Structure 1
């Protein structure tokens, strides 16, 4: 009798929970990582000190400011290819997501999208974060939603965190059809 080898287990997911400030990236990302059994990283912690200082001062970052940060986030993803990883990262533009995929091509994006008023209210209510509510409009203006050819899905931030996590986990593991 010939025995067929078992297929290899699927690779652990590499996920970026993306969106503008106040969309819930850190909250949803940490809960999603726990649900998937993979580590979590908040990309805010990978910003160079100069970027944090600019944002604290209410100055939007330029693409040149973001480049080393995006490379650090991409390296973090690539370094976790064997363990999987969920990263909370704004990833607002297609070019930024392409840069991340340049480091870790299997990355899937979950875009948390929501109403501007709700986002502004969330930002105003949080303490100890360097991103001031005054920069929300610059982030909204910069945002390029996921394109049809990008691996990922868009989720409405008005939904409860548990529902976002369940839908996000199903999307990244392929256990449920994704919709944009």
Structure 2
């Protein structure tokens, strides 16, 4: 089993799908948000978008975690830019990504709904969409509709990760 990154903009459902997939596939879940520095968390709380430099240590930490779990790991990480995804791929050859695709209005509504319990400022959703470089067309990427029921998404991703070869 290779590792997998559940990716997308804020509010797309990375944490929910990551948890469901980790449970279904008996893998460890690494919640990417837990590995942001305190300074980065404070910037996001204040509505200040992170820079590539802010994300550098975070991506290095996630890469180290991927290298340390060769048996497989589910990682939630926005992975908004191709360069971020390439850094993670270097850490874990064969790494796959599930892109939870969502429109801006739905993402904004979800971020607003979780605002009381999450450090991410609702004012940053526009920046997330401006930063996103779609992974569609990259090798090892599955695009899914973030608005589908969680159980359906988990089933689809698990089937993609573990294709069966049934004889006809």
TM range (shorter): over 0.9
Question: Would you say 1:106 and 2:106 are equivalent positions?
Answer: no
1:144 corresponds to 2:144: no
Cα distance in 2 for residues equivalent to 1:175 and 1:49: 43
The number of aligned residues is 164
Conserved? CA contact 1:13–1:173, under 8 Å: no
Query: Which residue of 8, 11, 17 maps to 1:22?
Result: 11
Q: Which runs of 5+ in 2 are unaligned?
A: none
2: CA distance, partners of 1:85 / 1:143: 23
Report what 1:128 is aligned to.
117
For the Cα contact (< 8 Å) 2:136–2:143, is it kept in 1?
no
Pair member with larger Rg: 1
Q: Aligned-pair RMSD on alpha carbons?
A: 1.2
The counterpart of 2:62, out of the listed 59, 73, 78, is 73
The 1-side partners of 2:111 and 2:36 are apart by 19
Paired residues for 1:26-65 under 5 Å:
26-65=15-54
Partner of 1:153: 142
**Aligned equivalents of 2:142, 2:86: Cα separation in 1:** 16
1:147 positional shift: 4.2
Aligned to 1:81, the other structure's residue is in SS state coil
Unmatched 5+ residue regions in structure 1?
A: 1-11
Residue 79 of structure 2 is aligned to residue 91 of structure 1: yes
TM-score (norm 1): 0.87
TM-score, length-scaled by structure 2: 0.94
2-structure distance, mates of 1:45, 1:101: 20
| 8 Å contact from structure 1 (residues 20, 136) kept in 2 | yes
